[in-house]
Amino acid sequence: MKKVYFKPLDESNEKLVREVTLKSDQRNFIETVDECLREAKEYKQWQPVAIYHNEDFIGFAMYGSFGPNRYTWIDRIMIDQKYQGRGLGKEAMKILIKQVSEEYKVDVFYLSIIEENKVAEHLYKQIVFKYINEKDSNGKLIFKYTVH
Q: Which is the catalytic residue, given 5, 124, 131, 145?
A: 124
Question: What are the angstrom distances between the C-alpha of 67 and each of 54, 73, 144?
Answer: 35, 12, 17
For Cα atoms 86, 90, 95, give the angle at the middle one, nearest 5 degrees.
120
In the Cβ-directed half-sphere of 132, how many Cα atoms lie within 13 Å? 16
Contact by Cβ (8 Å): 89, 123: yes
**124 catalytic per annotation:** yes
Report helix, strand or coil for 18. Answer: helix
What is the sign, positive or negative, of the torsion defined by CA atoms of 73, 59, 88, 92? negative
Q: Which residues are catalytic?
A: 124
